[in-house]
């Protein structure tokens, strides 16, 4: 095989979304896209999507540069994904069993399976009650047959993780299931947020493992031996091993990569980046070439986590968002993602005939959407199914079918079919009407089976009590409104204003009026308008269909860059490798000072010794983490903040005032930044 001279300067980027998998070959020195491709994401087998992406990507590169390619000279393979974000938004992933040590969460949790056992420590990290491992064993064995993974969260174990570690080891011994503890994911206080983060991390482990395995198999097939990196939610890169261990850090990975990709493609350092994919639309603000970071932690799907990520506002709106019309004629778009009817019918042509058979049936009084189709993905990992759930899986195992077909075969009413849990655990995926189908009906797209899209549109237009043309206009108008809503709200959050259009119907009506949409049939008495102060940078596959109209309504300067359809993949190879850690130095209970690192706590009598130890441990930790992740030319940066409170006292006769500083804590933030590829 002939070696391409400049191949050593290339990186291969892959973005695996809920709908499409994108790929680029990127010149690391010239910062240019040398080849690109976009293939469908095969959720049932990610290896197929990754291999298709790699094959088409390399073919495109060969077409441009000839057959002179040595894959062994690719310096880096990097991946971003919306799979974690989508799973949280859609409530999918592994079922998780939670063991809470020494406390019970008082708010909602993203799992119905949890147990509380005795244990816990105090704010200084001293054990106040021994962990009850017998109670833990009983809880683990009771949950074992209902879950696929475990999470452990102990009371104030962030100050001393020993009890979480003991329960983790017990879970490994008893089940062999994936397990994660809260102290591994965050050094921040906030019991509920840390617990939610641990649960979501456990839920995502099988998804990210599948993705990493798929990419590795594709690399091995092509003899690519470069390091595999993954984009974090803040746009930085981490190693494959760390992504497997902490998949929660990949939430908002796709949109974070799109921010970096938008910056790379346009050079716009101050702007509003909007990334519209198949499942979600994500909005972020660029300032001085860097995304704004969320100080509290990333919020996705209504859950606040302790994951440091770019300040991104995400809504469940994309090309493949589920369009529904209730029996009372209320239209909704998203947040769930489904297969478009046009696409699934192109894969299984018999479905068009099955839709033809039912598209005139009167479903007006049913709760279930008339055009739902169920497609088999996989059997559940450990969950026991009911007899009817098993019958549904068996019926669609060889091919998808509409609910109407399934109800007839099983002799059960559509509204009584128990299919929802199968969707929640990702064993079944739905096909239904989407904005992508609407674009097919309108003639704006011609990718798949237009007739299937028309049949699905006819069913929902009938429930909406209108014609097809008016219905499709309404759907697109509502999609543009939702894009405007998330865009304006993101800017309001950036301005730290306690005012979000998304929170109150009255405010939403004002926004609709400002966008020129009708609130009612009365004559307008006043007009409103909006003008964005930042340019709008739109990236993603379907942006041409929506954003010119949006920019016009918002009076915004619009950038639709070349290669906007693969901006996420560009962002995967444009970031830096980075590790961060927070080390705390706090007063001891009886004097002296405690140092809290991510893995242990240490006691010192002398303040300077505690500080020296904390700084050294922090630098060593981030350097080792970055080096293990394949970073080169690593530099560490340390920021220290000493926090004191002031106590004022007076003499007995109130004539003399004395101000005394009381030490609260020292916060040491250490970062390691390096190049993610070997020069």
pLDDT tens, position by position, 636-677: 989 999 988 877 666 666 666 666 788 889 999 898 888 887
Is the distance from CB of 382 to CB of 351 less than 8 angstroms?
no
Same domain for 215 and 71: yes
Per-residue pLDDT at 36? 92
Say whether pLDDT at 327 is over 90. no
Q: SS3 for 33?
A: strand
Would you say residue 139 lies in a domain? Answer: yes
CB crowding 478-489: b at 16 or more within 10 Å, else e: bbbbbbbbbbbb
Is 603 a member of any domain? yes
Asked whether the predicted pLDDT for residue 402 surpasses 60, the reply is: yes
Please tell me whether residues 103 and 73 are part of one structural domain. Answer: no
Across 175-186, average pLDDT:
86
Band (5; pLDDT cuts 50, 70, 90): very low
Q: Assess if residue 18 is contained within a domain.
A: yes
Percent of the chain at pLDDT exceeding 70 = 90
| pLDDT band, residue 521 (cuts 50/70/90) | very low
3-state helix, strand, coil in the chain (%, to 5): 40, 25, 35
The pLDDT score that the predictor gives to residue 659 is 67
Specify whether the CB–CB gap between 84 and 248 falls below 8 A: yes
How confident is the model at residue 519, as a pLDDT? 44
- Characterize 531-567 residue by residue with b for buried, 16 or more Cβ atoms within 10 angstroms of its Cβ, and e for exposed: ebebbbbbbbbbbebbbebbbebbebebbebebbbbb
Listed residues 449, 464, 479: the one ending a domain: 464
Instruction: List the structure tokens of 550.
Output: 């949006």
- Token reading at 470: 């008016």
Instruction: Report the distance separating Cα 105 and Cα 112, nearest Å.
Output: 12
458 and 371, same domain (yes or no): yes
- 58 and 120 housed in the same domain: no
Which of 278, 284, 290 has its CA nearest to residue 316? 278
Segment 215-253, tens digit of pLDDT: 888 888 888 888 888 888 888 888 888 888 888 888 878
The residue from 223, 239, 266 where one domain ends is 266
Structural domain contains residue 639: yes
What's the distance, Cα to Cα, between the start and end of the chain in Å?
Answer: 22
**Quick one: average pLDDT of 175-184?**
88
Domain assignment present for 513: no
- Write the CB contacts of 110 (distance below 8 Å, at least 6 apart in sequence): 88, 91, 96, 196, 199, 200, 203, 303
Tokens standing for 88?
A: 């949280």
Same domain, 70 and 105: no
Average pLDDT for residues 117-138, to the nearest whole number?
Answer: 89
Q: Are residues 168 and 225 in the same domain?
A: no
User: Domain range holding 156?
Assistant: 96-177
pLDDT tens track for 252-277: 787 788 888 999 999 898 999 998 88
d(CA 179, CA 170): 10
User: Considering the chain, what is the average pLDDT of its residues?
Assistant: 84
CA dist 95 and 385 (Å) reads: 13
3-state secondary structure of 78: strand
In whole angstroms, how large is the CA radius of gyration of the chain?
A: 27
pLDDT band at 95 (very low <50, low <70, confident <90, very high): confident
Q: Tell me which of 19 and 449 has the higher pLDDT.
A: 449
pLDDT at site 657 = 65
Within a domain: residue 569? no
Confidence of residue 525 (pLDDT cuts 50, 70, 90): low
Residues 255, 223 share a domain:
yes
Q: Residue 8: its pLDDT value, please?
A: 52
**Where does the pLDDT of residue 394 fall: very low under 50, low under 70, confident under 90, or very high at 90 and above?**
very high
Residue 520 has pLDDT above 50, yes or no: no
pLDDT of residue 501: 54
- 13: helix, coil or strand? strand
Q: Tell me the DSSP string of 562-597.
A: TTGGGHHHHHHTTS-EEEEEEEEEEE-BTBSEEEE-
* Domain identity same for 79 and 106: no
- Please report whether residue 248 resides in a domain: yes
What pLDDT is attached to residue 457? 96
Q: Assess whether 218 and 74 both reside in one domain.
A: yes
Beta-bridge mates of residue 262:
none
- Assigned token pair, 121: 């420590």
Question: In 45-158, where do the E strands start and end?
Answer: 76-81, 96-101, 113-117, 149-154
User: Which one, of 374, 381, 417, 369, lies nearest residue 396 by Cα?
Assistant: 374
- Amino acid 248: pLDDT: 84
Of 274, 201, 249, whose CA–CA distance to 558 is shortest?
274
Into how many domains does the chain fold?
Answer: 4
Cβ-proximal residues to 522 (8 Å cutoff; 6+ apart), any chain: none
Q: Collapsing DSSP states into helix, strand and coil, what is residue 303?
A: strand
Q: What is the DSSP letter of 383?
A: P
Phi, psi dihedral angles at 358 (to 5 degrees): -120, 0
**What stretches of 366-467 show up as alpha helix (H) in DSSP?**
387-396, 403-410, 420-424, 435-442, 450-464
Among candidates 590, 616, 592, which has minimal Cα distance to 604?
Answer: 592
More confidently predicted of 527 and 596: 596
Q: CA nearest 31: which of 226, 264, 230?
A: 264
Shared domain check, 392 and 349: yes
Instruction: Answer yes or no: is 240 within a domain.
Output: yes
Q: pLDDT value at position 396?
A: 95
Instruction: Give which of 326, 340, 351, 571 is closest to 460, Cα–Cα.
Output: 326
Q: What is the CATH number of the domain that holds 33?
A: 3.30.420.40
Residue 338 shares a structural domain with residue 452: yes
Residues 234 and 85 both lie in one domain:
yes
Q: Residue 547 has which token pair?
A: 């954003």
Q: How far is CA 99 from the centre of its chain?
A: 24
- pLDDT at res. 69: 65
Provide the pairing of β-strand 281-287 with 290-291. Answer: antiparallel
Domain boundary among 266, 283, 310: 266
């Amino acid at each position: 095989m002939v070696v391409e001279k400049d191949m050593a300067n290339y990186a291969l980027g892959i973005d695996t979304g809920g709908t499409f998998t994108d790929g680029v070959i990127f010149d690391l020195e010239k910062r240019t896209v040398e080849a690109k491709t976009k293939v469908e994401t095969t959720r049932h087998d990610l290896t197929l999507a990754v291999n298709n992406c790699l094959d088409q990507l390399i073919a495109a590169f060969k077409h441009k540069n000839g057959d002179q390619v040595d894959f062994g000279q690719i310096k880096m393979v990097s991946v971003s994904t919306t799979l974690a974000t989508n799973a949280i938004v859609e409530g999918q992933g592994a079922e998780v069993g939670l063991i809470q040590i020494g406390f019970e969460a008082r708010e909602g949790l993203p799992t119905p399976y949890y147990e509380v056992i005795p244990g816990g420590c105090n704010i200084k990290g001293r054990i106040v009650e021994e962990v009850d491992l017998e109670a833990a064993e009983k809880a683990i064995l009771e949950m074992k047959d209902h879950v696929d993974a475990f999470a452990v969260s102990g009371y104030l174990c962030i100050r001393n993780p020993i009890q979480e570690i003991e329960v983790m080891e017990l879970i490994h011994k008893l089940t062999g299931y994936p397990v994660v503890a809260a102290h591994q994911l965050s050094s921040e206080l906030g019991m509920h947020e840390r617990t939610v983060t641990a649960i979501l991390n456990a839920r995502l482990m099988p998804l990210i493992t599948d993705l990493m395995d798929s990419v590795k198999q594709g690399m091995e097939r092509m003899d690519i031996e470069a390091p595999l990196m993954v984009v974090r939610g803040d746009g930085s890169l981490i190693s494959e091993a760390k992504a497997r261990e902490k998949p929660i850090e990949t939430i908002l990975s796709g949109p974070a990569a799109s921010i970096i990709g938008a910056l790379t493609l346009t050079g716009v350092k101050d702007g509003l980046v909007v990334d519209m994919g198949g499942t979600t639309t994500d909005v972020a603000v660029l300032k001085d070439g860097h995304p704004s970071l969320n100080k509290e932690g990333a919020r996705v799907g209504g859950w606040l986590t302790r994951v440091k990520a770019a300040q991104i506002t995400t809504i469940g709106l994309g090309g493949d968002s589920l369009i529904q019309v209730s029996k009372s004629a209320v239209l909704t778009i998203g947040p769930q993602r489904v297969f478009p009817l046009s696409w699934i019918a192109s894969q299984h042509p018999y479905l068009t005939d099955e839709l033809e058979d039912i598209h005139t049936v009167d479903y007006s009084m049913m709760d279930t959407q008339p055009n739902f189709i169920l497609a088999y993905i996989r059997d559940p990992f450990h969950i026991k199914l009911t007899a009817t759930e098993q019958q549904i899986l068996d019926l669609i195992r060889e091919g998808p079918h509409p609910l109407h077909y399934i109800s007839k075969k099983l002799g059960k009413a559509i509204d009584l079919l128990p299919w929802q849990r199968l969707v929640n655990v990702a064993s079944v995926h739905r096909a239904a009407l989407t904005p992508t189908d609407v674009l097919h009906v309108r003639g704006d797209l011609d990718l798949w089976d237009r007739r299937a899209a028309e049949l699905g549109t006819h069913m929902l237009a009938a429930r909406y009590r209108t014609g097809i043309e008016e219905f499709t206009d309404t759907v697109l108008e509502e999609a543009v409104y939702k894009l405007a809503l998330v865009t304006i709200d993101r800017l309001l959050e950036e301005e730290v204003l306690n005012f979000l259009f998304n929170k109150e119907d009255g405010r939403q009506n004002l926004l609709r009026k400002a966008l020129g949409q009708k609130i009612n049939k009365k004559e307008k008495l006043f007009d409103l308008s909006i003008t964005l102060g930042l340019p709008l940078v739109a990236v993603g596959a379907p942006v041409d269909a929506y954003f010119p109209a949006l920019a016009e309504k918002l009076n915004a300067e619009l950038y639709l860059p070349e290669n906007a359809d693969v901006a996420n993949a560009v962002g995967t190879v444009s970031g830096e490798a980075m590790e961060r850690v927070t080390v705390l130095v706090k007063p001891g209970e009886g004097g002296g000072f405690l140092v809290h690192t991510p893995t242990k706590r240490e006691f010192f009598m002398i303040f300077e010794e505690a500080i020296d130890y904390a700084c050294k441990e922090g630098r060593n930790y981030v350097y080792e983490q970055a080096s293990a992740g394949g970073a080169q030319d690593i530099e560490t940066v340390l920021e220290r903040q000493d926090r004191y409170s002031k106590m004022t006292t007076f003499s007995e006769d109130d004539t003399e005032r004395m101000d005394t500083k009381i030490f609260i804590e020292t916060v040491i933030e250490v970062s390691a930044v390096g190049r993610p590829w070997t020069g």
